[in-house]
Amino acid sequence: MVSYNDVSKLTYYSENKKKKEFLDLFLNLAGSNNVIHILNFIKHERFFEDTSSIKLNFDNKEVIVFKENFLLNLPENNKTTHFIDGFEVTLDYPDIIDYKCSYMHCIKELKYNDDILTLKTQEDYNTIPLVLMNKIKPCIEPYLIDLHKTFLYKVGDIQCGFILDIDLIIKIVELTFVHSHKHIVQEKLFLMKEYNFSYNDFDKMSFLETKHYLKEGINIVNERNNPKTHGA
């Protein structure tokens, strides 16, 4: 679960341009650095409720995106094995490696005779000979083609496609979980003051759950402060 405190921290990192800290936190929350897993996690967490939506500005117009409009045509992970120049090459959809995301990160494992290299860092990928990498590229291409069939969102004639780019992945997280840090602080302080919430309570509540408490809490305070209500 992405808690309200997580949303607050992600927003703080985003507003202060802390890219590495932002990615470290979100990948830890997602429990994976695999792009397909991350995108599915984002969609599930942000659109947990049937009425969940996000608002976007497109050509000076407000566009409301619901779950059925968001991250469409996402492929499923599909591990394949290829034999190239004596190497057994295992491929799947790419991972985020050392804060980057590249076609080469579709390579998961290389096996030569009894030696196995599981690729986990960019340094591991840099050990792959260029000649071998060029021969692996055509096997990676179907994964990229499928990824590029994905839509970030599609509402009527308004649509945005997906490309394999770390900045776009960060942007998707920001669209779904980043708000105004100032407003988040104000909202948490309001619930702490008026209803004795503790800071740790926001570790147990999602963004959507917290919004329900805020809505009802504000209604109660408004009724309490309304002279007509007291008169009745």
Domain limits, the chain:
4-74+150-221, 80-147
Asked if residue 44 lies in contact with residue 36, where contact means CB atoms within 8 angstroms, the answer is no
- Residue 81: what residue type? T
CA distance 11 to 176: 11
> Region 7-29: what's the mean pLDDT?
98
* The pLDDT value given to residue 64: 96
Q: How many helices (H) and strands (E) does the chain have?
A: 9, 9
Cβ density class 149-185: b for 16+ within 10 Å, e for less:
ebbbbbbeeeeeebebebeebbebbbbbbbbebeebe
CA distance 82 to 185: 52
pLDDT tens, residue by residue, 92-143: 999 999 999 999 999 999 999 999 999 999 999 999 999 999 999 999 999 9
Query: Is residue 39 scored above 80 in pLDDT?
Result: yes
Task: Give the mean pLDDT of the chain.
Answer: 95
Nearest to 101 by CA among 54, 153, 37: 37
* The pLDDT value given to residue 59: 82
Query: Is residue 230 scored above 60 in pLDDT?
Result: no
Nearest to 75 by CA among 137, 151, 1: 151
Give pTM, 2 decimals: 0.93
Nearest to 99 by CA among 37, 25, 174: 25
Tokens of 205: 């509540």
